[in-house]
Amino acid sequence: MKLGHSVCVALAAVAAASTAIAQDAWPAKPIRVLVPFTAGGAADVSARVVGAKLGEVLKQPLVIENRAGSGGILALELIKNAPPDGYTLGIFANSNATKPATIPSLPWSLDRDFAYIAVTVDATMVLVGNPMRAPPGNLAALTAQLRSGTRKYSYGSCGIASTQHFAMEKYRYFTQAVAQHVPYKGCAVAMVSLSNALAYIKSGKLRAYGVTTIERNPAAPEVPTFRESGIPELKNYVQEAWYGFGAPAGTPPEIVDRLAGEIERIVALPEVRDRLRAAGLEPSFRGPKRMEAMMKAEVASFREITAAAGITAE
């Protein structure tokens, strides 16, 4: 019995040592990062700016793969099914939380199938208008026009049940503004990410009515917040977008913790913060537990708006 016990202890020690060696060796090859959005958007910019520095620190490149389509459902399924070995990461967003609120059956669960690593940026959303078609003036004037119903207006977003769609429906629900959602194009006004609209706002090709964050964005300080509009129903209006890194569930905690620690240091670097802010993104690190809690809170919030506004993914 004593001999057998000694053998078991020895084998356990060997296994533990092997695991430690494997973890110490990580990463021994390039790491791929799946981005569930097209190139050039807020998620893609945050992934590439932070990922480039992370690759330098880890001494292995982070290979960014844009896997847009199906509102991020496909990309998250690929992340879920990847080996949990630290060599597949993904960019997660609070827009992921719109899916459980609008789609009854999904191939993944935000509660069970992922390891949350770190939020890296907050992305401001802005309500913009086509100067040739949208009402002139500020957000209060726009809201008064939409409430009057004297003319039919449509508004655009990057897709049904997207964060931008929810942000606009939240605004309409609060103010009783009347406008028809038409995804992508053909609209007088649109709710979009500031990072995508910034150049057009600066050039005068788009009129900016307001940003949805608590404070004005440093990249466009001239654009007021919804809360500054003077509309009583919007005095507490806030709807932010955020992006961060995650991995398949079962990824070793040591790897998750190391990634979170490195990302925290990277997001604090002045050159990284400057690059992100130039794109209209606000650097804002939150670690694994906070990111997971934020995702759960987003699911609850989007479900509330879904019920109130009657949003479906159809």
Q: Report the CATH fold assignment for 125-234.
A: D-Maltodextrin-Binding Protein; domain 2 (3.40.190)
Cα separation, 225 vs 222, in Å, equals: 10
Q: Which CATH architecture has domain 29-122+240-309?
A: 3-Layer(aba) Sandwich (3.40)
Q: Highest-confidence range of 1-5, 8-12, 194-198, by mean pLDDT?
A: 194-198
Tokens 């609120």, located at residue: 101
* Average pLDDT along the chain: 88
Dump pLDDT digits (tens) for 265-305: 999 999 999 999 988 899 999 999 999 999 999 999 888 88
What are the domain boundaries of the chain? 29-122+240-309, 125-234
Cα separation, 5 vs 254, in Å, equals: 29
Dump pLDDT digits (tens) for 84-134: 999 999 999 998 998 998 888 999 999 999 999 999 999 989 999 989 888
> Would you state the pLDDT for residue 314?
56
> Would you state the pLDDT for residue 184?
62
Dump pLDDT digits (tens) for 192-215: 889 889 999 999 999 999 999 999
**Are β-strands 241-248 and 88-93 bridged in parallel, bridged antiparallel, or unpaired?**
antiparallel
> Would you state the pLDDT for residue 309?
75
Do the domains 125-234 and 29-122+240-309 match in fold?
Answer: yes
Cα 133 to Cα 126, 172, 187, 202, distances in angstroms: 17, 19, 8, 18
